[in-house]
Amino acid sequence: MAEETLVVRRIGAAAGAEITGIDLSHDLTNDQFAVIHQALLDHLVLCFPDQTLSADDQIAFARRWGDLAIHPNLAGMKDHPEIIAVERRPGDTGHLGSEWHNDTTSLEKPPMGTMMYSKIVPPVGGDTVFANQYAAYDALSSGMKDMLDGMRAVHGDSRVAGPRAGLNKRRTNKTDESDDWRETVNMHPVVRTHPETGKKALYVNVAYTLRLENMTTEESQPLLDFLYEHSHRPEFTYRHRWSEKMLVLWDNRALVHLALNDCPTSHRLMERIQIRGDRPF
């Protein structure tokens, strides 16, 4: 049988490419991986439709990118602790990832990428929206860029976990809200340099950024609010519509994203793996 040709097709103006002609349940050659790796750096969101993947297949593909992260606040699947079932059931009024964020920036070394595989997709709704943070940074004035240069922000997970988060009563996905939970807090640059492309990306987000370094929350908030609003201007976004058996991989170092909260009567089930990253600089 003739080998299929791997095709990378751009599907969004700000981010997003579809990759066809590849079966991710098989080992990739180094040449195939090099093309996919470059596509991630170029397009930030890669979508692989029509993939039939076991948990082990997903883990094997994720491991091509690096070590896998174990989530600090969400329990993994019983036999596969690296995989989190991201699930929304009819009647849930909230769900995981419904605020703009880069994943788990409370960590000293937040994940470089996240892979999500769709098992059950609502007939309408349940899209994921991504915003390109290179574009967000580039669109700032030179005065704002100069001001942000060298600035750092404190990130923590108290809005997404812990006894005060209060998320579990509204959603199927349970975060650690136990009394002995302890907040993870780390400082990151407000503008980070992507370790592979060398490009600058805005790096603050609604879910995890708490305040700016050496400032109170109140002092920080006006500037952070401006940056949050700016970070997801429509022209920086790519809205992803899922179909079943689709694998999507995204680059957390240069994107914020959110899961739309618009399918309250539907069941949505994804399997998600995070790939370890390095310390932002």
Residues that bind ligand SIN (CB under 6 A): 86, 96-97, 103, 114, 128, 257, 259, 270, 272
Q: How far is the CB of 272 from ligand SIN (least distance, A)?
A: 6
Tell me how far CA of residue 247 lies from CA of 6, 36, 176, in angstroms.
15, 13, 27
272 is catalytic: yes
26 is catalytic: no
257 is catalytic: yes
Cβ(224)–Cβ(155) below 8 Å: no
Q: How far is the CB of 129 from ligand SIN (least distance, A)?
A: 9
Q: How far apart are CA 52 and CA 163, in angstroms?
A: 38
Q: How far is the CB of 128 from ligand SIN (least distance, A)?
A: 4
**Token pair of 76 as six digits:** 């993994």
Q: How far apart are CA 41 and CA 228, in angstroms?
A: 23
**Token pair of 193 as six digits:** 């340099």
* Tally of CB atoms within 10 A around 222: 9
* Residue of closest CB approach to ligand SIN: 97
Q: How far is the CB of 123 from ligand SIN (least distance, A)?
A: 16
Which of 71, 92, 103, 194 does the annotation list as catalytic?
Answer: 103
101 is catalytic: yes
- Looking at the Cβ atoms of 90 and 150, the one nearer to ligand SIN is 90
- Which neighbouring-strand residues pair with 74? 175
- Looking at the Cβ atoms of 44 and 86, the one nearer to ligand SIN is 86
- Looking at the Cβ atoms of 62 and 140, the one nearer to ligand SIN is 62
Three-state secondary structure string covering 154-176: EEECCCCCCCCCCCHHHCCCCEC
- Looking at the Cβ atoms of 96 and 223, the one nearer to ligand SIN is 96
Which of 88, 101, 188, 232 does the annotation list as catalytic?
Answer: 101
| Active-site residue list | 101, 103, 257, 272
